[in-house]
């Protein structure tokens, strides 16, 4: 939007979301209450229909029993029922298919013209029209299991055209017939089902038994669901009105409660958070954005407000600590940078170091694993014909190793400048370091003195790596010299020296264990053999190029793996006098 920055846009979005929360809460509560009301309405209506159905069934069963007792007291209906059922069962399927026709009904004329039938017809007609009886459909019929039919014995329908005569039948389900014919006398006898002629119908009955207990017929009373529709509709309307009122009141109360206990406290926390961010951007010193909130909901929201208040205070204290730590880290960083510069200045950095001396070519490099390292190299003239060569590796890393390295370097050079031999120089250096070595650090050293006029090197090795030598027109190979104990590890050690002769064109390569112990991402070591292979990629190359070849080979091997150790190398080529 025009002229609207990010902060203003986010603030506007937060206000919209706050209104959305209230609207969403209100909508959800109202919908929930409405759904709850509908469920209550449906459950109440179902329970009402079930109760009403039970009452109608009981009423119909009572009427059927009352009618059965009246029939039993007035006349013997068993003979009439047996006569009709005997005639029905004697008919063939095709004859029964003529149901309702004059031809079919003529077969039951004797029963229809009997005195029993006329009496029962008049009796049931009076029964229906009686003020004490509330029923429209009561009749006598018998179920036939084999044909799944209900055969009418007496139907007192006041409408003569729709009245069913003796022998007329209607289809029923086999399960419905079995329910009546197999009744064991317990509970109410009724069946609810859907018929082709009348639709849904509830039929309750009482059996008429002969002297042997056999069922000969049933006094049946029909109740249609339409009889209950009026009462159900009235119940639904009445309860619906009540539920609507209760639902509306419940929704109103819940919405107000949720606004007060949920939406408004959350909005207050959100506003406090926004103000907190704004004050931080403006570098204001206010630290009580959340503690000043008046939230007393007694639930998780109040806990959230308390936690946010504690968090704000903790952040303020943390910021103070961070500022102190940052200032200290900046100071340490500055000092560490100065230490790095001091360490680098302690070792020769200019190559070629002696441009006027054509008898040899020399190059060295050091890559510390940290800002400062414990490795060091050195070379210096003891006199005009003797050049001291040093490469060393101090135990440990970082500033302690760097400090120990500088002490060892100064002592070693001082001893060498006194004209001592290589072995004597290491012996004196060991005595000096062991005399006050409270940190119990040590250093491995290879020290050699090159006699420039002859190419002879007098060297001593204090636990350091083997040097690699390349003869003119040959390849680099390890020179397995005699190892002495490390410097600073044990007082009283005497270091032996040996001689190594270089011819013009020969090269000497010195290194620390950071080269062969360089590790790739799979923790595999670079190894001495790979180092020799790298040296022999171009053995005739300059000393600087040889060191670059080794370093590039190490880099390709380790890939992105972290450098764990200092990596220091020195290479000298003896050229002799021109």
- Strand-strand pairing, 483-484 and 456-462: parallel
Residue 479 pLDDT > 60, yes or no?
A: yes
pLDDT value of position 306:
76
Q: Do 148 and 115 reside in the same domain of the chain?
A: yes
Q: Do 323 and 434 reside in the same domain of the chain?
A: no
What are 270-307's pLDDT values in tens digits?
A: 777 776 777 777 766 666 777 677 777 777 777 777 78
3-state secondary structure (DSSP) of residue 389: strand
CB contact at 8 A, 434 and 488: yes
Q: Do 390 and 304 reside in the same domain of the chain?
A: no
pLDDT value of position 149:
92
- Ranked by mean pLDDT, the top range of 25-34, 339-348, 554-563 is 554-563
3-state secondary structure (DSSP) of residue 567: strand
For the domain that residue 379 is a member of, what is the CATH number?
3.60.40.10
Cβ-Cβ contacts under 8 Å for 360 (sequence gap 6 or more) = 387, 450, 452, 572, 573, 574, 575
Q: Do 444 and 543 reside in the same domain of the chain?
A: yes
3-state secondary structure (DSSP) of residue 291: coil
Last residue of a domain, one of 305, 320, 346: 346
Residue 464 binned pLDDT confidence (cut-offs 50, 70, 90): very high
Q: How does DSSP classify residue 403?
A: H
Q: Tell me if 262 is assigned to some domain.
A: no
Angstrom CA distances, 48 to 40, 83, 167, stand at 12, 44, 39
What are 62-73's pLDDT values in tens digits?
A: 777 777 776 665
**What is the widest separation between alpha-carbon atoms in the chain?**
161
Q: Tell me if 267 is assigned to some domain.
A: no
CB contact at 8 A, 422 and 487: no
CB contact at 8 A, 260 and 180: no
The CA dihedral of 34, 35, 41, 45, to the nearest 10 degrees, is: 160
Q: Do 340 and 361 reside in the same domain of the chain?
A: no
pLDDT value of position 321:
82
pLDDT value of position 221:
86
CB contact at 8 A, 139 and 156: yes
When pLDDT is averaged across residues 540-554 and rounded to a whole number, the result is 96
Give the HSE-up count for residue 465: Cα atoms under 13 Å, Cβ half-sphere: 27
When pLDDT is averaged across residues 6-23 and rounded to a whole number, the result is 60
Last residue of a domain, one of 312, 346, 380: 346
When pLDDT is averaged across residues 330-351 and rounded to a whole number, the result is 68
When pLDDT is averaged across residues 344-358 and rounded to a whole number, the result is 86
Q: Tell me if 238 is assigned to some domain.
A: no
Angstrom CA distances, 440 to 397, 437, 488, 489, stand at 14, 5, 8, 7
Using CB atoms within 10 Å of the CB of residue 305, give its burial: 0 to 12 exposed, 13 to 18 middle, 19+ buried: buried
Alpha-carbon distance of 278 to 561, in angstroms, equals: 43
Angstrom CA distances, 153 to 138, 159, 222, 241, stand at 12, 17, 15, 48
Cβ-Cβ contacts under 8 Å for 415 (sequence gap 6 or more) = 424, 425, 428, 429, 432
H or E element at residue 74 = helix 6-74
H or E element at residue 118 = helix 115-129
pLDDT value of position 159:
77
Q: Tell me if 393 is assigned to some domain.
A: yes
Backbone φ and ψ of 457, nearest 5°: -115, 125
Q: Tell me if 298 is assigned to some domain.
A: yes
Domain count for the chain, please give it: 3
Cβ-Cβ contacts under 8 Å for 14 (sequence gap 6 or more) = 270, 274
CB contact at 8 A, 431 and 413: no
Alpha-carbon torsion 556, 561, 565, 566, what sign?
A: positive
- CA 382 to centroid of chain Cα atoms: 71
pLDDT value of position 287:
63
Cβ-Cβ contacts under 8 Å for 411 (sequence gap 6 or more) = 428, 429, 432, 433
3-state secondary structure (DSSP) of residue 171: strand
Domain region containing 307: 287-346
Residue 4 pLDDT > 90, yes or no?
A: no
Residue 334 pLDDT > 70, yes or no?
A: no
Backbone φ and ψ of 94, nearest 5°: -70, -35
Q: Do 151 and 174 reside in the same domain of the chain?
A: yes
Q: Do 387 and 327 reside in the same domain of the chain?
A: no
Q: Do 386 and 369 reside in the same domain of the chain?
A: yes
Residue with tokens 């050229």: 575
Measured CA angle at 446 (ends 443, 452), to 5 deg: 145
3-state secondary structure (DSSP) of residue 459: strand
pLDDT value of position 77:
84
CB contact at 8 A, 335 and 328: no
Alpha-carbon distance of 45 to 51, in angstroms, equals: 10
β-bridge mates for residue 571, sequence order: 363, 509
CB contact at 8 A, 243 and 34: no
Last residue of a domain, one of 229, 257, 278: 229
Q: Tell me if 476 is assigned to some domain.
A: yes
Identify which of 221, 185, 175, 188 has the alpha carbon closest to the alpha carbon of residue 202: 221
Residue 239 pLDDT > 80, yes or no?
A: no
Q: Tell me if 75 is assigned to some domain.
A: yes
Residue with tokens 């880290």: 329
Q: Do 25 and 117 reside in the same domain of the chain?
A: yes
Q: Do 48 and 154 reside in the same domain of the chain?
A: yes
Alpha-carbon distance of 374 to 520, in angstroms, equals: 22
When pLDDT is averaged across residues 234-249 and rounded to a whole number, the result is 75
Q: Do 356 and 502 reside in the same domain of the chain?
A: yes
Query: Could you report how far apart the first and last alpha carbons of the chain are, in Å?
Result: 82
The more confidently predicted of residues 269 and 511 is: 511
Residue 99 pLDDT > 70, yes or no?
A: yes
Q: Do 157 and 62 reside in the same domain of the chain?
A: yes
Q: Tell me if 498 is assigned to some domain.
A: yes
Specify the range with the lowest mean pLDDT, choosing from 245-249, 389-393, 530-534. 245-249
């Amino acid at each position: 939007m025009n002229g609207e920055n990010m902060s203003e846009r986010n603030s506007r979005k937060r206000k919209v979301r706050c209104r959305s929360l209230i609207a969403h809460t209100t909508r959800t509560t109202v919908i929930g209450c409405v759904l709850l009301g509908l469920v209550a309405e449906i459950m109440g209506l179902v329970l009402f229909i079930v109760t009403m159905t039970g009452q109608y069934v009981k009423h119909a069963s009572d009427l059927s029993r009352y009618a059965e007792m009246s029939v039993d007291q007035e006349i013997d209906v068993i003979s009439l029922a047996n006569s009709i059922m005997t005639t029905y069962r004697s008919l063939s399927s095709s004859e029964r298919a003529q149901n309702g026709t004059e031809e079919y009904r003529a077969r039951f004329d004797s029963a229809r013209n009997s005195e029993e039938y006329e009496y029962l017809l008049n009796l049931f007609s009076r029964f229906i029209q009686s003020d004490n009886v509330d029923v429209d459909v009561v009749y006598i019929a018998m179920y036939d299991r084999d044909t799944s039919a209900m055969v009418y014995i007496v139907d007192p329908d006041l409408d003569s055209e729709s009245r069913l005569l003796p022998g007329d039948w209607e289809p029923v389900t086999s399960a419905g017939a079995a329910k009546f014919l197999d009744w064991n006398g317990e509970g109410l006898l009724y069946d609810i089902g859907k018929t082709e002629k009348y639709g849904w119908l509830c039929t309750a009955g009482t059996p008429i038994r002969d002297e042997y207990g056999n069922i000969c017929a049933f006094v049946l009373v029909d109740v249609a669901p339409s009889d209950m529709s009026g009462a159900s509709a009235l119940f639904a309307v009445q309860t619906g009105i009540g539920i609507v009122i209760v639902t509306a009141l419940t929704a109103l109360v819940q919405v107000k409660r949720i606004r007060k206990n949920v939406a408004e406290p959350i909005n207050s926390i959100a506003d406090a958070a926004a103000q907190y961010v704004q004050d931080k951007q403006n570098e204001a010193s206010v630290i009580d954005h959340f503690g000043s909130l008046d939230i007393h909901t007694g639930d998780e929201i109040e806990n959230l407000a308390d936690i946010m208040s504690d968090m704000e205070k903790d952040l303020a204290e943390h910021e103070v600590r961070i500022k102190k730590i940052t200032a200290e880290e900046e100071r340490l960083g500055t000092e560490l940078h100065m230490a790095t510069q001091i360490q680098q200045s302690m070792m020769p950095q200019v190559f070629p170091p002696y441009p006027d001396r054509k008898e040899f070519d020399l190059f060295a490099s050091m890559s510390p694993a940290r800002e400062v390292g414990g490795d060091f190299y050195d070379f210096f003239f003891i006199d005009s014909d003797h050049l001291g060569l040093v490469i060393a590796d101090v135990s440990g890393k970082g500033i302690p190793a760097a400090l120990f390295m500088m002490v060892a370097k100064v002592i070693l050079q001082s001893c060498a400048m006194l004209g001592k031999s290589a072995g004597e120089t290491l012996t004196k250096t060991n005595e000096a370091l062991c005399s006050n070595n409270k940190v119990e650090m040590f250093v491995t050293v290879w020290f050699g003195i090159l006699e420039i006029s002859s190419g002879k090197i007098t060297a001593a090795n204090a636990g350091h790596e083997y040097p690699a030598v390349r003869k003119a027109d040959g390849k680099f190979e390890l020179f397995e010299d005699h190892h002495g104990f490390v410097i600073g590890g044990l007082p009283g050690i005497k270091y032996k020296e040996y001689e190594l002769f270089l011819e013009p064109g020969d090269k000497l390569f010195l290194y620390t264990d950071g080269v062969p112990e360089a590790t790739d991402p799979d923790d595999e070591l670079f190894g001495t053999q790979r180092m020799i292979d790298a040296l022999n990629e171009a053995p005739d190359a300059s000393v600087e190029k040889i060191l670059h070849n080794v370093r590039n080979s190490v880099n390709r091997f380790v890939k992105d793996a972290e450098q764990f150790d200092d990596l220091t190398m020195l290479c000298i080529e003896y050229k002799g006098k021109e």
